[in-house]
A and B are shown apart, each in its own frame.
Chain A
Amino acid sequence: MAVIQLFNEIGTIFRNTPTFALVLEIFLLITVIWLLLHKRGGGRRRRFTKEEEDFIIENYEPEPLVGETDPDHPLLRTRLVASKVGKRINVDGHDCLNLGSHNYLGFLEDQDILEEACKSLRKYGVGSCGPRGFYGTMDVHLELEERIAKFMDLEEAIVYSYGFSTVASAIPAYAKRGDIIFVDEGVNFAIQKGLDASRSTIAFFKHNDVKDLERLLVEQEKRDQKNPKKALKTRRFLVAEGIYMNTGKICPLPELVALRKQYKLRIFIDESVSFGTLGKGGRGVTEHFNIDRDEIDLISAGMEGSMATIGGFCVGSHFIAEHQRLSGLGYIFSASLPPMLTQAAISALDRFEREPKIFEQLQAKAQLLHQIFSRFSKLHLYGDELSPRQALYLAIPGENFDAERKRLIDVADKCIARGVAVVEAAYLQNRERKPVRPSIRVAVNRLLEEAEISAAFEIIENVSSAVL
């Protein structure tokens, strides 16, 4: 009975509905069914049969794992060092004055540091056999962190076991997808990798050009006004280097800090070159410009420059630095820094604190070298006069970067044969964000004498005049 009633009911509904509504509803129903079926069957295209699959697999030809490498590739020819890397160095059998290693303070030949490192080796062995979390933390690591924090007058430092991984891990620990990072386009490769790993939006401004940065910030502000909801979630970072590894220029920190305040940016400075070289006490670019270090959110540095050991560190407030102990990938998942190298860093800090005059000496030598090396006839010196790391470019640009590089390698080879170790700076041109102009890297060592710098000038000048 109930079934018949139900049919009657349905019949009434159909009769009472206008035809156009009925047509519309049927049309809708068909669309829904079609959508459902289409999604099920067509989300992935038609499945192949087993025979077809076998045929495809049979015929699949992958590319070779790697391409052929040109046997004359400049990076394949590495120079051979046959001595301690001090002020003098034996390269490819030639005894040379060393103007190529980042041993700014001459700590590589410091006997006291070496002795203390060896003593540490006799206490802890060579390796640490574990990451920091799993019994790889030794008292020397804690001491080094404490000492760095104290030296920089900040709350907390965190030590990494590899210079390259320091800043490359620090950036993605904070910057995530959806955030925006403003970066100087001249930053070194490690920073570029950190930016890649963060997956944030990256906005590059022209090298050391504060106006260009401000232009980008204004653009961003306009975008934020259009979409205020998104702006509330977008963290903004500014990444720069104290002294640029690639160009030897000091960053305009006071202007950057002013912009940080105005546009609410978090500012990260990589001081791999400037730590232990700039400022009265070697505290880097903040001391150089006399800027309160609380203005900077995070300072990172490699210890492979002025401290003449391995590894790197980040230093900042407790609130910021501590976060890396659970989020800095290179910190958590890597074995800790070998204790003897940690001890070498502590001993280097001892020297920093005991003898602040070494920084004055280094800066004086850098200025001296800058003056003398500015006079090359065929080479153009680039870099700040206080920077311990400067670059020599060809004065007359070559037809392309490859040609320039070949000529610079030629210059470097002949200089080494005549007793001055300079090298062309190594870059992976195809992997940099944009090709870097080839240059000869000049690194200043505190122990250089004026006569030695002049003699080196003569040799490089003679060689470059003859070759170029």
Chain B
Amino acid sequence: MASLPSISFYPSRRYSGVGLHLKANSTSLKNASSSTYHPERKVLLNGHAAAAREHKSECKPNQAEGKLSPEMEHYQKTSFEEVPMHTACLTYLGFYLLMILGYINQLLFVPKVATEKGREGYVALYDAFESFYSRYVYRRIKDCWNRPICSVPGDELTLKDRVTDDYGWSFKFTGTETRCLNLGSYNYLGFAAATGRCADESEEMARDAGLAYCSSRCELGNNAQLEELEKLTARYFGVEDAIVFGMGFATNALNLLSLLGPNCMVVSDEKNHASIILGLRLSGATIKVFKHNNMRDLERVLRDGICYGNTKNGGKPWSKVMIIVEGIFSMEGSIVRLPEVVALKKKYKAYLYLDEAHSVGAMGSHGRGVTDYYKVDPKDVDILMGTFTKSFGSAGGYLAGSKKLIDFLRTNSHAHCYAGSISPPIAQQILTSMKTIMGEDGTETGRNKIMQLARNTRYFRRRLAQLGVITYGHEDSPVVPMLVYLFSKIGAVVRTLTTRHIAVVGAGFPATPIMEGRIRFCLSAAHTKEQLDYALEVIDETSDDLGLKYSRKPRDPNPIEY
């Protein structure tokens, strides 16, 4: 059992048959890539996509076309290709094999596990399966996560190399570094940068106002900058008012419970983020889940819920019904069907909570998120929520909506009353980047970034489809999950891509269903065409080697235009 995790098993070659005859096809397409880029060779200025300007003329933003009905457009642009039967079987088989080997490993070898000292006779602290899973299954590909970096998480990043001598129990730094193309960070608009306007103004603010307030907003933690930030956020989304918090996770987890009570029904998408689920759990509301992005199921749940009322309370009508969806679902890469959700919300008099953690900045011709993408009136969404971590390259979260709502939150929000205010340089980064996106800095930078991201997204997704790998989600979503199914292939892909200087994120059980292990690419406006071409070339070769070209859809024979 003392085998390296990387060679545990993957029945790769056997299934690369499809890939083999395609190889000729894909090489012939390489005319699209004048690939001279390599992360090791070239030193690029971080952030601030310079390349955007060259192609400005014929570029389209991320924007729903609106020619078809929202439903038709959704079906046309979203793809969730079914897994081939034999892959499904193999995935399950592989997973159970991994579990069995884990059990044998645990039985035969003395596990190298930290034990509790001085707590004899106590009830065991951890659930047995949970610790088994993390020790004997997750450990095998543990090296693919929590990788330390030592640079800006921009278009490229620098990995600190580490090795393990004991099959993943512990890691050691080798002292070397690897420069990688970054397809893993949520840097959608490329505002993560250590130079340039954002960084300059943040530093200035840190020198003026210090690094923190050591107080909550309600005591001595409020200054003109934070008030400006709230006003600007409200203006950005075209709503009356907004409130900001120091952490995106806490924005969901600590505010949902102020809005909901035990006699409320919440209709929540099954793929909603953990922070939403935690917030709902704390609120005590009745949670009903509908199938991911499935409007028919949403309507069924709403209809049932409203007609039969609170069955735990003798069928009493719900005091509030709230629909909670995300703009872009981070694991699925799909975009919420907002126009249809808004129609249902109106029909059933429900309230709508929209979490735009991943979509704000990344979607719509003005970067205002999915409301902008679909040209839906932002006032039709009762509560707009999002984070500043991703597109704005900072930290924190916001809630935006009517003045009545925000005033209520100011007097009831836990994070507002008890938690520390946003640090001044962090708030400044948001202010500067938001003004840039809005064009209030007097330049085209923001618009160029939005265009560049839209163009990168479409190009990368189309090229991937052409390679024959299965990707999930909407063609305008900058989050691109590529399905590899098998648990061990997640590790194999992440490792192989690292040796080729590309940093990507893998996701497997329990973050995804057992069967749907995936690699997630996050595109950024900071990426250039050359960088994407380099990545696609490597992904093409890797997919051939590991047999990832599962797709049975017809492939576009023509070169994809950038």
Question: What is the CB-to-nearest-CB distance from B417 to chain A, in angstroms, rounded to a whole number?
Answer: 5
Report yes or no: A304 in contact with B212, Cβ–Cβ below 8 A: yes
- Asked if A294 is an interface residue, CB under 8 A from chain B, the answer is yes
Report yes or no: A134 in contact with B184, Cβ–Cβ below 8 A: yes
A421–B219 Cα distance when bound, in Å, is 10
A67–B320 Cα distance when bound, in Å, is 12
Report yes or no: B408 in contact with A117, Cβ–Cβ below 8 A: no
Q: List, in ascending order, chain A residues with CB within 8 A of B121's CB.
A: 264
A240–B300 Cα distance when bound, in Å, is 46
Report yes or no: A232 in contact with B211, Cβ–Cβ below 8 A: no
What's the interface size class on A, roughly? 35 or more
- Asked if B192 is an interface residue, CB under 8 A from chain A, the answer is yes
- Asked if A196 is an interface residue, CB under 8 A from chain B, the answer is yes
Q: List, in ascending order, chain A residues with CB within 8 A of B254's CB.
A: 164, 193
Cβ contact of B220, chosen from A129, A139, A423, cutoff 8 A: A423
A89–B429 Cα distance when bound, in Å, is 24
Name A134-151 residues within 8 Å CB distance of B.
134-139, 141-142
Report yes or no: B395 in contact with A101, Cβ–Cβ below 8 A: no
Cβ contact of B392, chosen from A44, A127, A323, cutoff 8 A: A127
Q: A163-B419, A329-B274 are in contact. Are A81 and B221 (CB under 8 A)?
A: yes
Q: A138-B150, A233-B123, A304-B420 are in contact. Are A102 and B214 (CB under 8 A)?
A: yes
Closest to B145 in A: A133
Q: List, in ascending order, chain B residues with CB within 8 A of A232's CB.
A: 123
Q: A193-B282, A426-B417 are in contact. Are A135 and B217 (CB under 8 A)?
A: no
- Asked if A466 is an interface residue, CB under 8 A from chain B, the answer is no
- Asked if A368 is an interface residue, CB under 8 A from chain B, the answer is no
Question: What is the CB-to-nearest-CB distance from B82 to chain A, in angstroms, rounded to a whole number?
Answer: 27
Q: List, in ascending order, chain B residues with CB within 8 A of A89's CB.
A: 220
Q: List, in ascending order, chain B residues with CB within 8 A of A138's CB.
A: 148-150
Report yes or no: B404 in contact with A68, Cβ–Cβ below 8 A: yes
Cβ contact of A164, chosen from B186, B217, B303, B419, cutoff 8 A: B419
Name A328-354 residues within 8 Å CB distance of B.
329-330, 332-335, 337-338, 340-341, 344
- Asked if B54 is an interface residue, CB under 8 A from chain A, the answer is no
- Asked if B45 is an interface residue, CB under 8 A from chain A, the answer is no
- Asked if A63 is an interface residue, CB under 8 A from chain B, the answer is yes
- Asked if A197 is an interface residue, CB under 8 A from chain B, the answer is yes
Report yes or no: A340 in contact with B392, Cβ–Cβ below 8 A: no
A53–B349 Cα distance when bound, in Å, is 14
- Asked if A76 is an interface residue, CB under 8 A from chain B, the answer is yes
A85–B148 Cα distance when bound, in Å, is 33
Q: List, in ascending order, chain A residues with CB within 8 A of B387's CB.
A: 335
- Asked if B267 is an interface residue, CB under 8 A from chain A, the answer is no
A157–B214 Cα distance when bound, in Å, is 22
Closest to A340 in B: B425
Closest to A292 in B: B118
- Asked if B114 is an interface residue, CB under 8 A from chain A, the answer is yes
Report yes or no: B211 in contact with A304, Cβ–Cβ below 8 A: no
Interface flags, B304-332, vs A, CB<8A=1, else 0: 00111001000101111100000000000
- Asked if A435 is an interface residue, CB under 8 A from chain B, the answer is no
A332–B206 Cα distance when bound, in Å, is 28
A45–B426 Cα distance when bound, in Å, is 55
Task: Say which one of A12-20, A54-62, A203-211 lies at the interface with B.
Answer: A54-62
Report yes or no: A135 in contact with B503, Cβ–Cβ below 8 A: yes
Report yes or no: A61 in contact with B211, Cβ–Cβ below 8 A: no
Q: A60-B349, A139-B148, A340-B425 are in contact. Are A130 and B382 (CB under 8 A)?
A: no
Q: A82-B224, A84-B209, A309-B212 are in contact. Are A66 and B259 (CB under 8 A)?
A: yes
Cβ contact of B148, chosen from A126, A142, A236, A329, cutoff 8 A: A142
Q: A60-B306, A334-B247 are in contact. Are A428 and B123 (CB under 8 A)?
A: no
What's the interface size class on B, roughly? 35 or more
Q: List, in ascending order, chain B residues with CB within 8 A of A294's CB.
A: 117-118
- Asked if B415 is an interface residue, CB under 8 A from chain A, the answer is yes
Question: What is the CB-to-nearest-CB distance from A466 to chain B, in angstroms, rounded to a whole number?
Answer: 23
Interface centre among B121, B208, B308, B348 (most CB of A within 10 A): B308
Interface centre among A125, A141, A193, A334 (most CB of B within 10 A): A125
Q: List, in ascending order, chain B residues with CB within 8 A of A85's CB.
A: 209-210, 212-215, 220
Q: List, in ascending order, chain A residues with CB within 8 A of B282's CB.
A: 193, 196-197
Q: List, in ascending order, chain A residues with CB within 8 A of B349's CB.
A: 60-62
Interface centre among B389, B408, B414 (most CB of A within 10 A): B389
Name A108-134 residues within 8 Å CB distance of B.
108-109, 113-114, 117-118, 121-130, 132-134
Q: List, in ascending order, chain A residues with CB within 8 A of B194's CB.
A: 121-125
A168–B254 Cα distance when bound, in Å, is 10
A122–B282 Cα distance when bound, in Å, is 39
Q: List, in ascending order, chain A residues with CB within 8 A of B505's CB.
A: 133-135
- Asked if B275 is an interface residue, CB under 8 A from chain A, the answer is yes
Cβ contact of A45, chosen from B227, B308, B417, cutoff 8 A: B308
Closest to A56 in B: B307
Name B370-395 residues within 8 Å CB distance of A.
382-383, 387-390, 392-395
Q: A63-B320, A162-B250 are in contact. Are A423 and B429 (CB under 8 A)?
A: no
Q: A61-B349, A122-B203, A162-B246 are in contact. Are A101 and B185 (CB under 8 A)?
A: no
- Asked if A401 is an interface residue, CB under 8 A from chain B, the answer is no
A141–B150 Cα distance when bound, in Å, is 10
A86–B213 Cα distance when bound, in Å, is 9
Q: List, in ascending order, chain B residues with CB within 8 A of A83's CB.
A: 209
Q: List, in ascending order, chain A residues with CB within 8 A of B157's CB.
A: 135
Pairs A–B under 8 Å by Cβ, sample size 29: A45-B308, A48-B307, A56-B307, A60-B348, A65-B383, A79-B220, A82-B223, A85-B209, A85-B220, A86-B210, A98-B220, A101-B220, A101-B221, A117-B206, A125-B193, A126-B426, A129-B192, A130-B186, A136-B153, A163-B420, A308-B211, A323-B126, A325-B146, A326-B138, A330-B250, A334-B275, A338-B423, A338-B426, A340-B211
| 5 A-B pairs closest in CB distance | A426-B218, A334-B249, A66-B408, A162-B247, A164-B419
A91-B220, A163-B419, A340-B425 given; 10 more Cβ-contact pairs under 8 Å? A62-B351, A101-B219, A101-B221, A129-B186, A139-B148, A190-B418, A317-B114, A329-B253, A330-B253, A426-B216
